[in-house]
Every structure is written in structure tokens, then in C-alpha cells.
Amino acid sequence: MNEQEIIKLKKMEERYEELTGLLSRPEVLLDRKLLSKYNRERKELEEGVQLWREYKKSQEEMKKIEELLLDDQEEEIKELAREEKDRLKKKMGKIEEEISRFLVSEDEHSHRNIIVEIRAGAGGEEAALFVADLYKMYARLAERKGWRMENIHFHPTDMGGFKEAIFALEGKDVFSNLRYESGVHRVQRIPVTESSGRIHTSTATVAVLPEAQEVEVEIKPEDLLIETFRSRGAGGQHVNVTDSAVRITHLPTGIVVQCQDERSQHQNKARAMRILRAKLLQRKKIEQQNEISKQRKVQIKRAERSERIRTYNFPQNRVTDHRIHLTLYNLEDILNGEMEELLESLKKELGGRKIVGDG
């Protein structure tokens, strides 16, 4: 490990111990916001601190073994010490790798659950079909990873695509794995409707939002314009019968969210508020970095073909991530959720860089 990593780990351990002390104080136990904040911060530091402590313990063991080897000992004892030294070297190497991975992904949102929004960009109906493909890709990845998936809002099209798909993912390291998915995704393929066999290019935008907790974002009731309207959908007795769909406008920021997938107006309102909180948290983070802009525009710009982060080329069975110049020839596997190689490469290459829309 380099000196900067060691300094960072020492600071993390100091803060972890400080938080442990704070969480036992009566004034903190009586303050719901502080208690939640300190608990969350301590939990986010825990893995790194445990790894660092394990590494230090191994260092101490290594020091004792090296002293033993310098002493005038019998050859048999020295041989056992050399074997133990080799074992410790391998163990410490493994811990260093785990620490590096942790430090690359570690930030204030690393362990958050997320809300993912996929929207059709350029390309009409083909773009909407591509949204459906991306939704299925993330759903299959979630199944492979054991993440819990909750559908929040969909805007279907007549041909089986989606103009918009919004869902939540909950599970271990879900944000760390998908944080670099935000941006414009481009697809190149021959559409079913194309009789001439011409390859068509279309786009979809993906936004990954770390989910906010209620105590992190203050939302005043007077700042909300809440409207209800009748749900639109593919059928069912409840559709167009009651005003169960909900649209919420946050007046200070102009952010608008809506949800119409549930029969209950109360359920739709609760889901819309989850999306709003996530958007406000992301906006707050960007403002703190003096990059004041609408969150979606920062993440995905303008859904134009030239602003893509990744291309899915069906004729060549190819997926190319343009940020790290990685090309893989297993498009079908990736669309089936086998994204591990791609995601690990992104974390490794982009972990130390500043990514637009990702602090």
C-alpha cells in the first residue's frame, strides 16, 4: 500500500472510533436525525476499518516471524517460520487487494440502494424497445447478484417497449456496481420493422440515483404541488376509473416526478416521494461541488448519438464502453445480465477519476 492509502485508512479508523463514542452519548440517542446519520456513516466505514485492523495484525505477526528468523534457532524452527512467513505474505497481499477495491469504491454513497431511470432517447420506437432490453439486462443482473428489485413506474409502448422505466435495486454493493451506468447508451441493429435490412442507431439514457433517507433531505409540504389524475395503461378494470395516479412538483427546484402503476393513490404518492428524495439528494451533492445544474442533464446530457458512453452492436455481437476503450464480443451474455467483467473494468479504470454526475 502507498502512503496516501495508509493515511486514509488511519483517518477512517479514527473517525470510526469517534463515531462509536458518539453513538453512546444520551444527546445523540435522543436525536433521531443524528443517530441515523452517525449509524449510517459508521456502517459505511466498517468494512474498511476491519480490513485495516486485520492488515495491521498480520504486520505484527510478520514482524515477530522475521525476528525469529534472525535469532539463533534450530533449522527446523526456522523452516516452520519461513512457511508461516509465506502464508502471511499471501494473506497480506489478499487484504491489500480488498483494501484497494474498498478505497476505489468508497464514498458517501457507496453502500446505498439505488433508483434507476431508463428513458428512450433518439430513435423512436426502436429506442423504446432498447429501453426494454436494458431493463431486462439489469433485472437479470439483479437476479444473479441476489439484489431485490422493485418496479416503480413504467410508460409502455404498443410494440412492447418503454418510453420510460423506473425501478429500485436493493442489495450489497448495488451502487458501487452500477454507479458508472449513468449516461447515454447506444444500440446498433436491424429493427424488426426494417424491410431493407438497414442497421438502425438509437439511444436510451440511464440515470443511477443513490436512494435518500428521509432524514437527509428536508422536504417542506408547502414546497410540493401534488396532483392526481387517472392512470393510463394496457388495460385492467382499475385503469381510467379512479384518480389514482400522482404527479408531484417540487416548486423550489422545478423537479417533477409521477407514478401511476399502483391501484392506490397512497402507494403511488409514496413511490413518487422516493424518487423525489433521490433526485433532491443528488442535486444537493452537485450543488455542494459548485456544479449547479439539473441532475439529469449533468448525468446524461442530451441523449444524442454522439454523446454515448457505451455502444451495443448486434451485427458484430459487440459491446464497447467508450470511456475506458473496452470492447467485448459477448453482447448476448451481457444483455442476459452477465455484466461482471464490464462492471469490474469500469470500477478499476474509473474509480480514481472524477465522473460527470458522480461526485
Antiparallel, parallel or unpaired: β 255-259 and 326-328: unpaired
Helices (H), the chain: 3-22, 26-29, 32-70, 75-105, 125-145, 174-178, 265-288, 295-300, 331-335, 340-350
Quote the distance between the C-alpha of residue 266 and its chain's center. Answer: 27
DSSP for 53-89, written as a single string: HHHHHHHHHHHHHHHHHHS---HHHHHHHHHHHHHHH
pLDDT at 216 over 80: no
Segment 127-144, tens digit of pLDDT: 999 999 999 999 999 999
Kindly indicate the confidence band of residue 237, based on its pLDDT and cuts at 50, 70 and 90.
very low
Higher pLDDT, 217 or 107: 217
Task: Flag whether pLDDT at 290 surpasses 60.
Answer: no
Across 258-262, average pLDDT? 80
By mean pLDDT, which of 92-101, 105-114, 263-272, 303-312 is the weakest? 105-114
- For the beta carbon of residue 72, count every other beta carbon within 10 angstroms: 5
Say what the pLDDT of residue 357 is: 37
Q: State pLDDT tens for residues 324-355.
A: 999 999 999 999 999 999 999 998 888 654 44
pLDDT value at residue 238:
42
Q: What is the mean pLDDT of residues 220-229?
A: 89
- Higher-confidence position of 129 and 260: 129
Q: Over range 111-116, report the average pLDDT.
A: 82
pLDDT (mean) for 17-30: 92
User: Looking up cell 455484466, which residue turns up?
Assistant: 339
Handedness of CA 147, 148, 152, 153 (dihedral sign): positive
Query: What average pLDDT score do residues 163-184 get?
Result: 90
Q: Are 226 and 246 in contact (CB under 8 A)?
A: yes
Maximum CA extent, the chain = 90
Per-residue model confidence (pLDDT) at position 57: 93
Domains of the chain: 3-105 (1.20.58), 114-214+298-350 (3.30.70.1660), 221-288 (3.30.160.20)
Angle (deg, nearest 10), helices 32-70 and 75-105: 150
- Region 182-196: mean pLDDT is 85
Instruction: Give the pLDDT confidence of 66-82 residue by residue, as tens digits.
Output: 888 887 667 888 888 88
